[in-house]
Amino acid sequence: MNIRLRHDAIVRILRRNGTSTVAELAEEIGASRRTVLRDIGALRDQGFVIHSESGRGGGIQLDPESVQTTTRLSVTEVFALIISVAAMRAARSLPFSDLADSGLAKIEKALSADKVRDLRRLLDCLYIGHLSPKQDISDLGSIDPALLSAFETAFLQRLHLRFHYRDAKGVETIREVEPQAMLILPPLWYLVAWDAAREDFRHFRMDRISKPEIVEGTQFRRRHVPFEDDVCPFSEMPR
């Protein structure tokens, strides 16, 4: 069980049981007593009020009014929230945009400096535009949930991305590319990448990408992507 799952489990157990000993927590989550004590310290740092009493009848207690005061969202999760709001705004379907922006600003403020740096690097790769009304979207599918985390690694570490791609005719090929940008043309989302085999940029619809994987040891340089005039960087998007 990873750290995040352990923390969630400890909070859930303490809320359910009221009082638990370190030994009981360790047995229930399958960890050592030392690990449980370290996790309890980390939960306190996150804002949870956890009391401990020694002796007979004592144990670990979570204040019933206690809540987490610091964010544990990953860079990918925050990025997903931001680009979802951006897509809704681009589609002119965000009636409470001010509240959404305020909430996202609070989340970003709670992130650590290294996460903020990574988040901004990802946002620098994000572009927004409008889809042509002539574009056929009758075959629009869902996007592979594994794609965004693969993007995080590929974009931040400048590593090649390999994936299976199904074209408009349903033909599937395996592609290896240099991810350069993400483009949102609601309701379509694209990966814009340099395809070395074709010596040109290619736009890949994200709903047609599957089985993404990082190709280790294949770093590349950032390239300038030529976009149409009606496409703008996320940072210049009207609010």
For 110-126, what is each residue's pLDDT tens digit?
Answer: 777 788 889 999 999 99
Determine which of 34-38, 52-56, 146-150, 180-184 has the lowest per-residue pLDDT on average: 52-56
Is a pLDDT exceeding 60 seen at residue 185? yes
Given a contact cutoff of 8 angstroms between Cβ atoms, the answer to whether 51 and 61 are in contact is: yes
Mean pLDDT of all residues in 63-90: 77
Instruction: Kindly report each contact of residues 40-49 with a partner whose C-beta sits within 8 Å and lies 24 or more positions away, as own/partner.
Output: 40/10, 42/3, 42/7, 43/7, 43/10, 43/11, 45/70, 46/7, 46/70, 46/72, 48/11
Residue 85, pLDDT score:
83
pTM of the model: 0.70
- At a CB cut-off of 8 Å and minimum separation 6, what does 80 contact? 148
Tell me the domains of the chain and their CATH numbers: 3-62 (1.10.10.10), 75-236 (no CATH)
25-69 tens-digit pLDDT = 999 999 999 999 999 988 887 778 898 887 665 689 988 776 655
Residue 88, pLDDT score:
81
